[in-house]
Structure 1
Amino acid sequence: MIFKLRWMCFAAYTLFISASSISAPVPASTVAPLELRVAVVSDGRADYFVRLLEESLKLIQQPYHIQYVKDIPARRMWWMLGQGEINLFYGMQSKEKDSDKQLVPVRNALTNGLIGQRVLLIRRSDTEAFLPVRSVADLKRTGLIAGFGAGWGDARVWKSAGLPLYEHAAPWNTIYAMVAARNRHVDYLPRGVIEVLAEARAHPELAVEQRLLFEYPADFGFYLSPSVAHYRPIIERALQAAEASGLKARLIDEAYGADIKALNLNRRLRLRLSAAPD
């Protein structure tokens, strides 16, 4: 009887040790690091997105190595992503990208919709030209032409609303001078509230229009190469943890809070546009 009791205690102890080893968390040192090659631009526009990615991975104790590939034209970056020459890039979310077999979307809206809130970068001499605008129809009647990069998703939003626009195929940064010089009749640039003041500081020949705020559903997202599709649940978990912990909100405020406050969004006339059809 004593032998049987001892055997039962030993068996129970063995089962306890086995169950504990199964449920114990894997030390971070044993987790394989994510090997990331990330496309960025060196003018600072990518800083928030890079920081969000890195800080979110740190939050869940996910090791990573990142190699940054800088200043490649956007269209080539998307091609490189599909080919696996880079394996992570951020850009405007769209059904078109999400259904592309060469791209793996990470399901998270990186700016909490802020990039879908747009104000206008205009010529200083044109301030009065926008004063009569109280609706999208009013803006259309002015005949003023918006400028976009070729193929940009927000250009499709303007097209859907029937608003005149020009799509610039050359390097994007030349369009600021075109607006200032009235070249090709480009009159204004719709820019996200997280980017417009930085651009106005870099281009003092232009000014931020003070009355209007255009809104439509849009955001940036991370996209992966199919070669690292297995990274998606890890990065999604990291971004979800950043939201739940308040890390994401803090990073947005640190990166953009002062500029958003300076734009006085609550005092602007909000004009809603529909999302572009894909």
Structure 2
Amino acid sequence: MRLLILLIGLTVTIPALSATWNIRFPRPMSDTDSRHDYPLQLLEKALEKTGVNYHLAPTDKILLQSKALQQLQGNRDVSVVWSMTNEQREQDLLPIRIPVYKGLIGLRIALVRKADRDVFKYVRSMKKLNLFSPLSGRDWPDTKILQANGFAVETDENYEGLFDQLAAGQADFLPRSVVEIWAETGKGNELITEPHIALYYPTAVYFFVNKKNQTLARLIESGLEKLIASGEFEQLFLDAHQQSLAKADLATRRIFRLDNPNLPVATPLDREALWHQPTTSVE
């Protein structure tokens, strides 16, 4: 009986370790889009930890986030997507519930036009903050979060189009994650980071795979857990984002906490090691 169990175990594990996993991820929106750099590096290191043979490659075509998620759900062309979670995405796809950015994707700083640098200087309440219109991606979970917190949100389905809209004065600010914004300030000489406030809402970016691809999900999860246990996850996170956090100078900002009504109940908020703990208070 023991031999039979061992043989069954080998038939499950050997193919996973010996086969080459061809893993496709959505091609970045542009050649200057650096948002893929860190999650892709994290994914590579996680897969290396498992010992599997793998080949990571972008899709042939650029895919909007909504299209990439549709392709993943249909098990067509895309093997893995990293994206902000919400209830619908966790129903449609299989999440690996380890926050890629340790929750920092929900810590937002505003991009504004140079002329509006001090527009939020004296804003001290959500009532006043709601008088300003933010920009957001049409299919981003952030959009519903902002709307649920009283904002009249302007949207664009094109990532690059958001910066053009802001520069043209079609909205007041573009809230971007503290881990993204510094690479985006160069998207127009007239756009700068606003220095007085920040927004925070609890959320996470996860790696998602197709619901039927549980073996790949287990491989990614196993690799990430090994990175966490060894301290490599934390070191990679700090190497990628410590400078961004220093630039944000959060201690000098008023941080407004927003509700996230679409945060799934399975979000592992009680596992402290998965989240970056800000050193400043959140109102």
TM-score, with structure 1 as normaliser: 0.83
CA contact (8 A) 2:136 2:156 kept: yes
Aligned residues of 1:57 and 1:238 also touching (Cα < 8 A): yes
1:37 counterpart residue number: 24
Residue 63 of structure 2 corresponds to: 72
CA distance in 2 between counterparts of 1:148 and 1:264 reads 24
1:49-95 Cα deviation digits (max 9, x unpaired): 11101111112323212222152222221121122121111111111
The count of residues paired between Structure 1 and Structure 2 equals 253
AA aligned opposite 2:200? E
206-215 or 254-263, which deviates more: 254-263
**CA distance in structure 2 between the aligned counterparts of 1:167 and 1:30, rounded to whole angstroms:** 44
Partner of 2:155: 167
- Deviation at 1:227? 4.3
TM-score, scaled relative to structure 2 = 0.81
Distance 1:174 1:198 in 2: 16
User: 1:193 matched to which residue of 2?
Assistant: 178
Alignment of 1:269 with 2:261, yes or no, is no
Aligned to 2:45: 55
Distance 1:181 1:29, change over 3 A: closer
Q: Does 1:251 align with 2:242?
A: no
Say whether 1:130 aligns with 2:117: no
For residues 81 and 118 of structure 2, the distance between their equivalents in structure 1, rounded to whole angstroms, comes to 39
Aligned equivalents of 1:31 and 1:227: distance in 2? 20
Map Cα deviations across residues 191-238 of structure 1 (whole Å, 9 max, x no partner): 000001110123331110111121111121111123423211121111
Residue 96, structure 1, aligned to residue 88, structure 2: yes
- Secondary structure of the residue aligned to 1:194 is coil
Greater helix content: 1
Deviation of 1:266 after TM superposition, in Å, equals 2.4
Query: Within 2, Cα distance between the matches of 1:29 and 1:212?
Result: 48
Shift of 1:256: 2.1
Match status 1:260 vs 2:251: no
Q: Structure 2 counterpart of 1:252, which letter?
A: F
Aligned residue identity for 1:168: D
Secondary structure of the equivalent of 1:243?
Answer: helix
What is the SS of the residue equivalent to 1:221? Answer: strand
Is residue 2:139 matched to residue 1:154?
no
* Seq. identity, %: 25
Which residue does the alignment assign to 2:191?
A: 206
Q: Could you say what the CA RMSD is over the residues aligned between the two structures, in angstroms?
A: 2.5
Query: Aligned to 2:179, what secondary structure does the other structure show?
Result: coil
The secondary structure found in structure 2 opposite 1:79 is helix
